[in-house]
Amino acid sequence: MSNVTVIGTQWGDEGKGKIVDWLASRADIVVRFQGGHNAGHTLVVGEQVYKLSLLPSGLVRGKIGVIGNGVVVDPRALMIEIDRVTAQGLTVTPETLWIAENAPLILPVHGALDRAREAARGDRKIGTTGRGIGPAYEDKVARRAIRICDLAEPETLDWKLDEVLLHHNTLLAGLGADTFTKEELKAFLAEITPRLLPYSCAVWDRLDDARRAGRRILFEGAQAVMLDVDHGTYPFVTSSNTVAAVAASGSGVGPNSVGFVLGIAKAYTTRVGEGPFPSELYDAVGRTLGERGHEFGTVTGRPRRCGWFDAVLVRRACRVGGVSGIALTKLDVLDGLEEIAICVGYELDGEKITSFPSAPGAQARVKPIFETMPGWNETTAGARSWAELPAQAIKYVRRIEELIEAPVTLLSTSPERDDTILMRDPFED
Ligand code: GDP
Ligand code: IMO
Ligand code: MG
């Protein structure tokens, strides 16, 4: 029996939330360890649809949810989300939600700087969610972040805010954006402190107790390997590491607690925001995938760019992510397509290559090499067993396994929680 860590293997929105929700029934604690409210996870449970950004998906199953120190926390967004899910009937209390006291806060200056910088970039924008994620992580490594535990020492906030404002107002003014006063930020912190502090605790300590007591921990990644700040399509990435290794440092446990690494991959590919996407489709098939897959960003509502499954990228994600097995989602979206293609390599400046280059210019220039296979007419939507799948769909899954050099251990065939096929229980590995 081991813990499980779920990570995305493409550019996000692979269906991590659905899979985490499904696996959470077998776990005791679900931990978010990186990212912030740039994430958007949709969970469908019967008639109810839960849209979560910061709250760990396990809360929907009544499990303990943890926000680790690796997450950047926008306290206002968090409270709005808690209020929303409470109205949907969930119970969120300091007993069921633990937030790391050493997690950095996202302040109003961060969102403002994120948006001002994106506006200034014009055509060269990254396409961020505009939620202040990048600037908040920058402040963390620059050692000027306000962390949750600082709220318990209000006498220190004055000089900490001076340092924050010195940096951010200089930049905001330079970009021609509105600056902030200390009073504004103090009022913001005073407003959120009484609601936020009760959730704050030594997460590392509680997780260590849980681990010793043999409780099962499920680590819930946000974003995905191709958005990882080191391993992704830099600079068109998010500002955190998204690989499984970060589940440990982002929650305060040792690397041996990460357990089985379940990579989530969509049966095709999508991306929101700017940046290279070799297997992108600009034709009617791409539009069909977008429509059938309801490919609109959960956070920003932007239409997601769609393309064929890129086996080269997912193979790389599996390697750098230490993936033990894959959950392949949205197979049903491919139902009824006459032909399906998989990207198996690239051509770069007339040469064939089998791995994705690191330089952004080369990443933008690569042309995909596709392998095609016939599709299937039968429906896979709602299938709950391997036996219900058409032979051609099974062939597609098997081919993907071969190409990415990782086993498919779970299959998802609809947004619904239980429309899931389990080949190997990751908790039993
Ligand atoms: P996440 O960010 O990785 O959690 O993914 P999102 O929730 O942002 O996007 C995935 C979308 O696909 C959501 O709307 C899910 O309800 C939906 N979804 C998840 N798995 C499946 C599936 O197997 N089939 C279909 N049709 N939809 C799915
Ligand atoms: P989930 O967890 C898809 C993308 C943004 C942008 C880039 C940087 O739902 O899979 P940021 O605001 O993080 O600085 O934006 O990263 N991005 C995501 N794309 N799913 C996500 O999360 C994402 N989180 C960030 O669109 O291209
Ligand atoms: Mg999402």
Domains of the chain plus CATH, in order, are: 4-103+200-260 (3.40.440.10), 108-196 (1.10.300.10), 265-428 (3.90.170.10)
From atom 26 of ligand 1, which residue's Cα is the shortest distance away? 414
* 231 is known as an active-site residue: no
Question: Does 133 contact ligand 2 (Cβ within 6 A)?
Answer: yes
Residue pair 221/244 in contact (Cβ under 8 Å)? The answer is yes
* 367 is known as an active-site residue: no
Residue-by-residue DSSP string for 92-134: --TTTEEEETTPBBPPHHHHHHHHHHHHHHGGG-----SSSHH
Q: How far is the CA of 298 from the centre of ligand 3 (A)?
A: 6
Residue-by-residue DSSP string for 333-352: GGTT-SEEEEEEEEEETTEE
* Closest ligand by atom to 290 CA: 1
From atom 16 of ligand 2, which residue's Cα is the shortest distance away? 238
Catalytic site residue from 21, 37, 41, 63:
41
Q: What is the pLDDT of residue 302?
A: 86
Atom of ligand 2 lying closest to residue 40 CA? 9
Cα separation of 170 and 167, whole Å? 6
Tell me whether residue 306 is exposed, middle or buried, using C-beta atoms within 10 angstroms of its C-beta: 0 to 12, 13 to 18, 19 or more.
buried
Catalytic site residue from 63, 140, 231, 266:
140
Tell me whether residue 338 is exposed, middle or buried, using C-beta atoms within 10 angstroms of its C-beta: 0 to 12, 13 to 18, 19 or more.
exposed
From atom 11 of ligand 1, which residue's Cα is the shortest distance away? 15
* 13 is known as an active-site residue: yes
| Pocket mutation for ligand 2, best pick of 20, 41, 67, 128 (most atoms within 8 Å of C-beta) | 128
Structure tokens at 368: 């995909």
What is the chain's pLDDT, residue by residue, as a tens digit (429 residues)?
Answer: 589 999 999 999 999 999 999 999 999 999 999 999 999 999 999 999 999 999 999 999 999 999 999 999 999 999 999 999 999 999 999 999 999 999 999 999 999 999 999 999 999 999 999 999 999 999 999 999 999 999 999 999 999 999 999 999 999 999 999 999 999 999 999 999 999 999 999 999 999 999 999 999 999 999 999 999 999 999 999 999 999 999 999 999 999 999 999 999 999 999 999 999 999 999 999 999 999 999 998 778 889 999 999 999 999 999 999 999 999 999 999 999 999 999 999 999 999 999 999 999 999 999 999 999 999 999 999 999 999 999 999 999 999 999 999 999 999 999 999 999 999 899 987
Question: Does 238 contact ligand 2 (Cβ within 6 A)?
Answer: yes
Q: What is the pLDDT of residue 404?
A: 98
| Pocket mutation for ligand 1, best pick of 6, 14, 18 (most atoms within 8 Å of C-beta) | 18
Q: How far is the CA of 296 from the centre of ligand 3 (A)?
A: 9
Q: What is the pLDDT of residue 28?
A: 97
Question: Does 81 contact ligand 1 (Cβ within 6 A)?
Answer: no
Residue pair 240/93 in contact (Cβ under 8 Å)? The answer is no
Question: Does 44 contact ligand 1 (Cβ within 6 A)?
Answer: yes
Residue pair 306/281 in contact (Cβ under 8 Å)? The answer is yes
Q: What is the pLDDT of residue 1?
A: 57
